Structure 1
Amino acid sequence: MQDRLSEIFSSLSFNTISGEGRIGIAASGIVYQYVLDALGDRKDITLLKIGTPYPFPQQLAVRFLSKVDRVLVIEELDPIIEEALIEVSYLYKKVPVYGKKSLRFLKTGEYSLELVDMVIKKFLDADERELMDKSIDIPPSIKNAFRSIKEAEQYLDSQSK
C-alpha cells in the first residue's frame, strides 16, 4: 500500500521538480519558500519541493536525482527528506546528499530567510572536496539492508510479469 501511495504522491502537484541545473536543493513547507526567495530568478539549480513526505514520493526523487550531481536538503525539525533522499540515492543513482546529518547547520529551531540564504551560498561556494570531508558514509549494515530490499523488490516484480 505504501508503495502505491508513494507512486501516487510522485505525481501530485504538492511534490514538484523545477529549474535546470546540476546542483539540486530539496525542501518543504515554509523553507521551500525561503529557498525560492534566496535564489531569486536563478534557474540554474534544480529544486525538489516535497509537500507530502510520507510515504516519500520515490519516483519523483529518482527523476530529481537523475538531473543533479549533488543535493542540499534544507528542512526544519527531523531530517526526514534527507534520509529518504539518501536511501533513494543509494538504491538508484549515487548522488551525494547533504543536510543536517552531514553538514553543520541548525538541527533545531525555526529557520529564516537569512539562514537559508547563508546555507545555500556556503553550499554553492564549497567545492566537492570540502563537502565530502563533512559528509557521512552509510554504514555497511544499512547498505546490506537496502540491497536486500532492492533484490526482493526486483524478484517480486519479475514474478508478477
Structure 2
Amino acid sequence: MLQPFQIIYASLANRRLTQDEIRDLLHIARKNNQSVDVGGMLVYHDNCFLQVLEGPRIAVEAIYMRVKTDPRHRNVKLLLRCGISETEFGDWSMAYVDTDGKNKGLKGYVDYLDQLDKQIVSDSQAMRVLSRFKKGDWRDLVLEEVADKSA
C-alpha cells in the first residue's frame, strides 16, 4: 500500500440513533470500507460522532466527501487530515465505540473506558484527538455551533 492517509472528523447526529440503526450503519460502512482497504473507528457519544478513517488517500477522501453530505448528521468538523506512517486501526474495518455501553453486543465493539486506551497505546495525533473527544472537547465544538445557530 502507498503511504496511508487519515481523516478524523466530528459531527452531530440529527436525532438519537437506535441500536438497530447503528448496527446497520456499521454493517454498510464495514462492507464499503473493506472493499477499498479503508479501516478506522467510529465513536458515538451524546448524539455526536467522531470517526477515524484511514487507508489509501483517494478512498479515504471519497468516503469523507460522502460523509459530509450524509443527511443523518450535521456540523461535520474536520479535525485531522494527513498522511501517516502506518495505520493505527489496521485490524479494524470499522471498530465501534459506544460510550454508554448500550451496544456491547455489536461486532467490533470496543469498550470506551476500559479497552480503548489499552488497545491503542501510541501517542499519535489520532489518539490525542480521541482523548480530547473523551474529555468532551470536540463534542462541545459541534454542540456549541448548534447552540449559536439556534440563538
Q: TM-score range by the shorter chain?
A: 0.3 to 0.5
**Greater per-residue helix proportion:** 1
More contact order relative to length (CA 8 Å, sep ≥ 6): 2
Greater Rg, structure 1 or structure 2? 1
What TM-score does the superposition give when structure 2 sets the normalisation length? Answer: 0.33
TM-score (norm 1): 0.32
Specify which structure has the higher proportion of strand. Answer: 2
